Amino acid sequence: MWGDKKPEIPAKTPLPQQQGKTSYTAATPTLSGEAKTMAPMDSSYPSTPGGGTARLGASLHIKGEITGNEDLVIDGSVEGLVQLEDRKLTVGASARVTADIIAREVCVYGNVKGNLRARDRIEIKKDGSVVGDLTTARIMIEDGAYFKGSIEIDKAGEPSENDLEKPAYTRSRSAAAANKE
């Protein structure tokens, strides 16, 4: 069929970038062995090394532990542990998460069953649902959201005894009250 000459399959070769879009040469062989150039790929999620936003799509189902150092949006289902110490986790509207969550910030639009611990804040949006205990410095639960569990406000900036020696305008209200006793 091909005779003595087999078509060559060229490797993907990046072409010059144009305003955040990348083009590649196709790896599809033609009868003459030439490569076709595809149109620029539209990338709606810019990749930034060392801390962009990752996304788990609606058709993905993960069992296990997720750890990392970038923001994460979950639209699929996750069972296990999600640990993003210094990053933001967004649980999308179509997400089903059965996991304990540890992050800097957690925003829930979908369903979560598990304990949430956020160093900065937790938000449960109007169609969000959380069944589990929350530990955070700040909390926001919108009207229409479902929540069943306990809330512990963990003030990360709670003053130490050394802070009491600072001027009153730099102390928190609780430190000033403790100092008056």
7 & 80 share domain: no
User: Does 67 reside within a domain?
Assistant: yes
User: Does 127 reside within a domain?
Assistant: yes
73 & 39 share domain: no
The predicted-structure confidence for 101-149, as pLDDT tens digits, reads as follows 999 999 999 999 999 999 999 999 999 999 999 999 999 999 999 999 9
Q: Please give the share of the chain, as a percent, with pLDDT higher than 70.
A: 57
* CA distance linking residue 119 with residue 100, whole number of Å: 14
- Among 11, 26, 44, identify where a domain stops: 44
Instruction: Give the range of the structural domain holding residue 135, as residue numbers without chain letter.
Output: 53-153
pLDDT at 173: 39
User: Does 71 reside within a domain?
Assistant: yes
User: Does 163 reside within a domain?
Assistant: no
pLDDT at 59: 95
pLDDT at 57: 94
Predicted model pTM: 0.60
- Look at residue 12 and tell me whether its pLDDT is greater than 60: no
**DSSP secondary structure string, 1-64?**
--TT-PPP-PPP-BPPPBTTBB-BB-----TT-PPPBPPPBP-SS---TTT-EEEE-TT-EEEE
User: Does 161 reside within a domain?
Assistant: no
User: Does 121 reside within a domain?
Assistant: yes
Number of domains in the chain: 2
- Look at residue 32 and tell me whether its pLDDT is greater than 70: no
